[in-house]
């Protein structure tokens, strides 16, 4: 039971564009333990979403996985056939997306969109057509109630646009959780929502995580969310992990200048709702990367040695950062 649920080693995902090859994810290692909530933080383009699209096998052309290992629950996901990968998606690993308005199909009823996941994965459903339909409907109602949507029975026949933003987010969570996945990847679950609704949705995810005993990856811009809901946190910058460790350590005692910058002006204990504050300068062009610290151009404490490749170094037990100023080399 001590093996992590998800283990990603040295993942590289590239996009071949006209301008050249973009290294969107460049040698990323991730571990998600059973039952834990991992926060993944970074600016747009840091590779945080692409990393987990890669895990789900959903990288679209012109992107592709160029190397690395993805092991989930003891299985090598990269070696699975597309057919077998579909059986994993939605059943073992589920995902919610940032904007529920665009992620739910506008032309299909909510009932159909929940029901089809069960139809695709649930082997316990009865075979007979009528009984099967009833079972699917009952389970759908149950899921909507679980995520806190009242009068679920009648709402199954409605279309996504007939719901409020918060309700739609709940529906998306209900869809993702319909088959009781072992891992939920929640990609920016609150960005598109009002502050008050954000809190409710996050509480919901945390509650259900406890109830179902699943693991959660929370991809977010919002450090407040991480502080409140995540056991561990991973900070990404320009396609690499730059810092990772227990939430308390990373936020209380950030080791990488980038993380420090992110946390810079946020007053302690009032992190809630704070977006990442932009740091001076720009994310480097991911096409022509010089062999040096990716943060070099924006770093306020850079040194000459930073003009070489930097590996992860241990700041404290279980807490690592990709910076020469940090303790000892962890590899």
> Is 296 an interacting residue with respect to other proteins (CB under 8 A)?
no
What are the start-end ranges of the E strands in the chain?
Answer: 6-17, 20-32, 37-41, 63-72, 75-76, 93-96, 183-187, 215-220, 232-237, 240-246, 313-316, 319-321, 328-329
From the CB of 242, what's the least distance to other proteins, in Å? 27
Q: How many CA atoms lie less than 13 Å away from 124 in the CB half-sphere?
A: 5
CA angle at 142 for the pair 174 and 39, rounded to the nearest 5°: 30
> Is 17 an interacting residue with respect to other proteins (CB under 8 A)?
no
Residue 172 or residue 226: which is nearer to other proteins going by CB? 172
Q: Looking at 80-88, 260-268, 288-296, 309-317, which segment touches other proteins (CB under 8 A)?
A: 80-88
Q: Taking Cα atoms as reference points, which of 8, 61, 58 lies closest to residue 33?
A: 8
> Is 89 an interacting residue with respect to other proteins (CB under 8 A)?
yes
Structure tokens at 289: 């990367």
Q: How far is CA 246 from CA 169, 240, 308, 327, in A?
A: 28, 18, 28, 17
Strand 37-41 to 232-237 pairing: parallel
Give the C-alpha separation, 73 to 183, whole Å. 10
> Is 106 an interacting residue with respect to other proteins (CB under 8 A)?
yes
**Binding mask 37-66 vs other proteins (x if CB under 8 A, - otherwise)?**
-------------------x-x-x------
> Is 212 an interacting residue with respect to other proteins (CB under 8 A)?
no
From the CB of 84, what's the least distance to other proteins, in Å? 10
**Binding mask 127-166 vs other proteins (x if CB under 8 A, - otherwise)?**
--------------------------------x-x-----
> Residue 189 is inside which H or E element, if any?
none
> Is 319 an interacting residue with respect to other proteins (CB under 8 A)?
no
> Is 305 an interacting residue with respect to other proteins (CB under 8 A)?
no
> Is 105 an interacting residue with respect to other proteins (CB under 8 A)?
yes
From the CB of 53, what's the least distance to other proteins, in Å? 8
User: Applying CB under 8 A, which residues contact other proteins?
Assistant: 56, 58, 60, 82, 86-91, 94-95, 97, 99, 102-108, 116-117, 120-121, 159, 161, 172, 175
């Amino acid at each position: 039971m001590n093996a992590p649920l998800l283990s990603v080693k040295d993942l590289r995902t590239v996009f071949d564009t006209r301008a050249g090859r973009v290294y969107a994810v460049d040698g990323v290692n991730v571990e998600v333990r059973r039952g834990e909530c991992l926060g993944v933080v970074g600016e747009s383009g840091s590779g945080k979403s692409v990393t987990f699209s890669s895990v789900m096998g959903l990288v679209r052309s012109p992107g592709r996985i160029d190397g690395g290992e993805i092991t989930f629950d003891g299985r090598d996901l990269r070696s699975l056939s597309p057919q077998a990968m579909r059986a994993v998606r939605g059943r073992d690993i589920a995902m919610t997306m940032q904007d529920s308005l665009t992620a739910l199909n506008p032309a299909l009823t909510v009932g159909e969109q929940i029901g089809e996941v069960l139809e695709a994965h649930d082997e316990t459903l009865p075979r007979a057509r009528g009984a099967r339909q009833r079972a699917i409907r009952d389970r759908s109602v149950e899921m909507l109630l679980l995520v806190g949507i009242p009068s679920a029975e009648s709402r199954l026949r409605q279309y996504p646009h007939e719901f409020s933003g918060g309700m739609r987010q709940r529906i998306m969570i209900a869809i993702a959780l319909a088959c009781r996945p072992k891992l939920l990847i929640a990609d920016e679950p609150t960005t598109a929502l009002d502050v008050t609704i954000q809190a409710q949705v996050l509480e919901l995810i945390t509650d259900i995580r406890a109830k179902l005993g699943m693991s959660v990856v929370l991809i977010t811009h919002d450090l407040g969310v991480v502080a409140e809901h995540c056991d561990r946190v991973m900070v990404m910058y320009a396609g690499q992990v730059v810092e990772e460790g227990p939430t308390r350590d990373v936020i209380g005692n950030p080791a990488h200048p980038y993380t420090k910058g992110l946390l810079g002006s946020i007053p302690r204990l009032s992190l809630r709702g704070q977006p990442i504050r932009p740091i001076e300068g720009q994310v480097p062009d991911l096409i022509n990367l010089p062999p040096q610290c990716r943060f070099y151009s924006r770093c306020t404490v850079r040194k000459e040695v930073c003009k070489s490749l930097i590996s992860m170094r241990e700041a404290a037990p279980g807490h690592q950062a990709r910076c020469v100023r940090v303790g000892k080399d962890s590899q």
